[in-house]
Amino acid sequence: MKFTNVVLAASAATVACAYPRGRDTVPNKQSADLKKRANGFTWFGVSESGAEFGEGNIPGTLEQDYAWPKTSQIQILRDAGMNVFRVPFLMERLVPTTMTGTPDATYMAALKSTIKFITDSGAYAVLDPHNYGRYNGNIITSTSDFKAFWKTVATEFAADEKVIFDTNNEYHDLDQTLVLDLNQAAIDAIRAAGATSQYIFVEGNAWSGAWSWTDNNDNLKALTDSEDRIVYEMHQYLDGDSSGTSETCVSSTIGKERLQSATAWLQENNKKGFIGEFAGGVNADCQDAVDGMLSYMSENSDVWMGAEWWAAGPWWGSYMYSLEPSDGPAYSTYLPILEKYFVDGTASAPASSSSSSSAPTSTKSAAQTSTTTTAAVDITSTPSSNVQVPSSVNESSSSASAPAETSVPVAPVVPTTTTVAPTTLVRASSTSTAKPNAQVPTTSPSAGNVAKHYYQCGGINWTGPTACEAGTTCVKQNPFYYQCVSA
């Protein structure tokens, strides 16, 4: 989902991302057929959102503006059978000031710690610069600078065969030739850094939407890779405009229908695809639509390599698509549906091992696994009064310490304009950040026309209450999400 501060400029016909949004309480309905089926997928998992939150406040403060995923929660989903986890982050936090610069040591260490935890478990980790083809809010036009950024980043992860590089999240409103050139620059830089065994996920223009892929991104078939490991990452939501901003789905068959043209494109061009973001609301139509989409992908696994749900993460609270264990609104309803499509034989391995997840058989042998010794721990600091919200459409100051099992108290701070994810967060495609341990409201999100503490109080398409209860104030987290935080 999108978590940027960029206001949606593309027409509804090209939107393909989801934003955080307040959730109506909908009774859970389990699909009747929950039998796990054999499928040809290589990966199946979820985006672990958080480190990309607060894009309006750079570099921002850890646990106030953004948060790293909790490894304990990742482990629950790993134990359930997921074998890939996408980790969104911001380019500006990782390599500040200029794309040709050097990494921020603290933020990089936290990113490496999170990635190492995932790959040590035997799962794959997707490095996702959640920037929409932009840096510091400006469209990236220099392919040489973008190449420098990717060479710097890829060098840090070149030895880990279970890392997957995602060139950038949801390019949109860019010149189409520029999208081609940026993707090719990233591919070339990653290989030049010595990362020759890993897959590279390339994304397209128009929010990388699968339903509009053939209308916008046909030229990306010209991308080349010396290692022949390009995978085309597309995103697909099931509401009316494919933006992922509504809990309703067009129909119970819309998932399959929206992938048909992209499937034909992949087959005709002998390419491989992956759905990097998808989700549906907790209701019968959406559950059937999600199940039908995944079944269709499984039937066409000659070109579809798998999918990742949007999203899990510590600050999502009651966001309608949250798959965060165990109280995310989508968790109990959708996990049994998704489990049918998990990759057989890739269950969690001991944390010290990195060999339990089977490597794809259709590609060249992978390089040796990383030998880095960075430790991964959960950060469990006291929740601040703000919660980050994703800003992807279709949404001291530079600290980014790795997750820690021990408690790291953080004094509550109430930013006035930072992007934060409330405990009732709405999903924003791959750029939202929910704080670890952010308090999750247990009462109704609103009383009359007043929103409760940590609940949504505004944003594009928001039709709920805009006033907050006493002691709290409505703060803009991104154009699509305003949240009631402590005054």
* Predicted pLDDT of residue 454: 58
338 in Cβ contact with 34 (< 8 Å) = no
* Predicted pLDDT of residue 295: 98
How far is CA 196 from each of CA 89, 187, 355, 406, rounded to the nearest angstrom?
22, 10, 19, 37
CA-nearest of 24, 191, 225, 128 to 432 is 128
Q: Which two tokens stand for residue 145?
A: 């600078």
430 in Cβ contact with 244 (< 8 Å) = no
How far is CA 54 from each of CA 4, 60, 107, 415, 432, rounded to the nearest angstrom?
9, 7, 14, 10, 8
**Amino acid letter at 371?**
T
Using only C-alpha atoms, the chain has a radius of gyration, in whole angstroms, of: 20
* Predicted pLDDT of residue 10: 37
* Predicted pLDDT of residue 421: 36
* Predicted pLDDT of residue 471: 87
Q: Is 141 exposed, middle or buried (0-12, 13-18, 19+ CB in 10 A)?
A: middle
CA-nearest of 2, 71, 20 to 322 is 20
Whole-model pTM?
Answer: 0.74
* Predicted pLDDT of residue 409: 32
CA-nearest of 149, 55, 156 to 114 is 156
Question: In sequence order, what E strands does 53-129 have?
Answer: 84-89, 124-129
Q: Is 441 exposed, middle or buried (0-12, 13-18, 19+ CB in 10 A)?
A: middle
Catalytically active residues, by annotation: 170, 277
d(CA 328, CA 279): 13
d(CA 79, CA 143): 40
Tell me the average confidence (pLDDT) per consecutive run of 10 residues in the chain, 487 residues long.
39 47 29 51 98 95 97 98 99 98 98 99 99 98 99 99 99 98 99 99 98 98 99 98 94 98 99 99 98 98 98 95 96 98 74 39 37 42 35 37 37 34 34 32 57 73 85 74 68
Written in H, E and C, the secondary structure of 6-19 is: CCCCCCHHHCCCCC
Which residues are within 8 A (CB) of 215 and not within 5 positions of it... i.e. 6 or more apart?
14, 206
d(CA 100, CA 62): 24
CA-nearest of 264, 162, 166 to 211 is 264
**Residue 410 CA neighbour count, 13 Å, CB half:** 29
d(CA 70, CA 437): 9
130 in Cβ contact with 90 (< 8 Å) = yes
DSSP character for 62? B
d(CA 297, CA 16): 18
How far is CA 486 from each of CA 110, 365, 378, rounded to the nearest angstrom?
28, 53, 25
Sign of CA dihedral 354, 356, 359, 365: positive
Instruction: Go through the domains of the chain in sequence order and give each one's CATH number.
Output: 43-340 (3.20.20.80), 455-486 (no CATH)
d(CA 62, CA 401): 8
DSSP 429-466: TTT--B-TTPPPP-S-SEETTEEPTTSEEE-TT--S--
* Predicted pLDDT of residue 380: 38
Tell how far CA 392 is from the center of its chain: 9
How many C-beta atoms surround the C-beta of residue 397 within 10 A?
Answer: 11
Map residue 154 onto helix, strand or coil.
helix
CA-nearest of 341, 235, 346, 265 to 297 is 341
183 in Cβ contact with 218 (< 8 Å) = no
DSSP character for 146? H
Q: Which two tokens stand for residue 41?
A: 């997928």
* Predicted pLDDT of residue 151: 99
Q: Which two tokens stand for residue 345?
A: 């034989």
How far is CA 225 from each of CA 142, 275, 286, rounded to the nearest angstrom?
20, 20, 37
How far is CA 4 from each of CA 20, 66, 430, rounded to the nearest angstrom?
11, 13, 9
Map residue 76 onto helix, strand or coil.
helix
